[in-house]
Amino acid sequence: MGKINAIITGIGGYVPEDVLTNEDISRMVDTTDEWIMTRVGISERRVLRDGLGTSFMGIKAVEQLLEKTHTSPEDVEALICATTTPDYFFPTAASMIAHNTGCINALTFDMQAACTGFLYALETAANYIRAGRNKKVIVVAGDTMTSITDYTDRTTCPLFGDGCGAVLIEPSTEELGILDAILCTDGTGLDHLNMKGGGSAYRATHDTVDKRMHFVYQDGKYVFKHAVMLMADASIKIVERNGLTRDDIDWIVPHQANKRIIDATAQRLGVEDKVMDNIQKRGNTSAGTIPICLWEYEEKLKKGDTLILTAFGAGFTWGAVYLKWAYDGKKT
Ligand code: UT7
């Protein structure tokens, strides 16, 4: 039997209805639409209502995915949820999503690699398929970043939004799917991007709440510099080691944290005209950015298209995936 590749056979997604505009944010903190558009490139983002957690969006994305791919939920053997903002510490969001979508035979777990979570989960799921162990694996990735955003901090509150995407991964003997991955970590990132309150180091107390330790902390400039450098480095490395040229690339799908980071990454790869980007309307949904982009661009994709996915996030974690798309156009 030929080599088994792991291909994406469908995609679903969900973003909440409520919209938070730059004008809304400029009423909360000292900022302007002009500053946010120029420095970050976001005009609005979606916000999940309080009381609903990430699993709510994951369920919607997976329901759509099952319908679009005509998949019976009982046939799903594994469901991995990449998120940094699960509904609860435990049980996992994955177990709640599987339960509510009828994926009752699936092994489930959450995976936390911050904004790089989708890439980590994709490669993990692909390994289940390549090993011949499973035939249907779902990766659902996304975050409710607004639940950990400090709306008194102008340096972080314009950045984040909420949303989830989900993909079905199946085996194929064609030369398609997740063909290579570079996934990296550098734990020195801790001091520059974190949320320290509420874990086992700083358990939730009045003091941690007063010190605003339950919100994202980010040293923006430091993170920016590393995101630009490391996303491009990983992308160039995966392109070169697979013998690809600029002309072979149909799409680059970068994590959507800042339009300037997206542009710089595309520029270093020399593919400015082949970039998927939806940051203006979606903001940074952390693990959700790449699958939501793929979901929104699905109709433009063709079988055999070469995609380079790349992300950077807390940890630091970062990486790149070389993916050959496996079907034409939008599945309905
Ligand atoms: O997804 C995980 C990875 N995250 C990222 O990749 C994000 C990386 N970082 C960034 O995208 C950018 O660093 C930010 C968008 C967070 C900040 O942009 P920046 O161009 O690096 O701004 P800065 O932090 O250097 O601040 C420049 C100025 C400062 O004023 P002074 O000190 O020059 O007077 C800030 O106080 O802009 C000020 N500033 C703002 N002004 C208006 C910071 N935030 C705002 C704001 N509105 N919202």
Q: What is the CATH number of the domain that holds 36?
A: 3.40.47.10
- Ligand 1 centre to CA of 36 (Å) is 9
Q: How far is the CA of 259 from the centre of ligand 1 (A)?
A: 13
Whether the CB-CB separation of 109 and 82 falls below 8 Å is answered with: no
Give the residue ranges of the chain where pLDDT is below 50: none
In the chain, how many domains are there?
2
Cα dihedral 106/177/140/273 (nearest 10): -170
Rounded to the nearest whole angstrom, what is the distance from the C-alpha of residue 17 to the centroid of ligand 1? Answer: 27
Residue 304 in tokens: 């055999």
Predicted pLDDT of residue 332:
87
Structure confidence at residue 218 (pLDDT): 98
Q: Counting Cβ atoms within 10 Å, is residue 238 exposed (0-12), middle (13-18) or buried (19+)?
A: buried
Largest CA distance in the chain: 62
Which residue among 40, 155, 157, 290 has the greatest number of ligand 1 atoms within 8 angstroms of its CB, and so is best to mutate? 155
Beta-strand pair 306-313/251-254:
parallel
Protein residue closest via CA to atom 47 of ligand 1: 31
Q: Which of 175, 208, 238 is the last residue before a domain boundary?
A: 175
Catalytic residue list contains 70: no
Alpha carbon of 281 to ligand 1 centroid (Å): 19
In the three-class reduction of DSSP (H, G, I as helix; E, B as strand; rest coil), residue 324 is classed as strand
Say yes or no: 163 and 204 in one domain: no
Phi-psi region of 144 (alpha: psi -120 to 50; beta: other; left: phi over 0): beta
Question: What's the CA gap between 196 and 169, in Å, rounded?
Answer: 34
Q: Is 255 a catalytic residue?
A: yes
Q: Ligand 1, closest atom to CA 155?
A: 44
Range of the domain at 147: 5-175
pLDDT on residue 1: 63
Provide the 3-class DSSP secondary structure of residue 166. Answer: strand
- Give me the pLDDT at residue 94, please: 98
Q: Which atom of ligand 1 is nearest to the CA of 158?
A: 48
Same domain, 155 and 33: yes
For residues 198 and 301, membership in a common domain is answered with yes
- Tens-digit pLDDT profile for residues 38-69: 999 999 999 999 999 999 999 999 999 999 99
Pairing state of beta strands 177-185 and 137-144? unpaired
| Ligand 1 lining (C-beta closer than 6 Å) | 31, 35, 39-40, 115, 154-155, 158, 220-221, 223-224, 227, 257-258, 261, 284, 312-313
Q: Is position 206 annotated as part of the catalytic site? A: no
CA distance 168 to 17: 24
- Per-residue pLDDT at 40: 98
| In the block, residue with structure tokens 């790449």 | 290
209 phi/psi in degrees, rounded to 5:
-70, -45
**Are 75 and 127 found together in one domain?**
yes
Summarised one tens digit per residue, pLDDT across range 151-161 is 999 999 999 99
Q: Are 193 and 162 a contacting pair, CB within 8 Å?
A: no
Nearest Cα residue to 119 out of 281, 329, 323, 328: 323
Q: Let me know if 308 is exposed, middle or buried by CB neighbors in 10 A (0-12, 13-18, 19+).
A: buried
Atom 3, ligand 1: residue with shortest CA distance = 313
Q: What is the spatial distance between Cα 23 and Cα 20, in angstroms, rounded to a whole number?
A: 8
249: its two tokens: 């690339």
Domain end, chosen from 111, 143, 175, is at 175
Which residue has tokens 């809304």? 24
> Which tokens sit at 134?
């499973």
Same domain, 157 and 302: no
Specify whether 89 is located in the same domain as 124. yes
Please state the atom number of ligand 1 nearest to the C-alpha of residue 32.
47
For 53, what's the count of Cα atoms within 13 Å in the CB-facing half-sphere? 15
Name the pairing type of β-strands 18-21 and 317-324: unpaired
Q: Which residue out of 164, 226, 284, 293 is catalytically annotated?
A: 284
Residue closest by Cα to atom 29 of ligand 1: 155
Relative to the CA of 157, which ligand 1 atom is closest?
A: 48
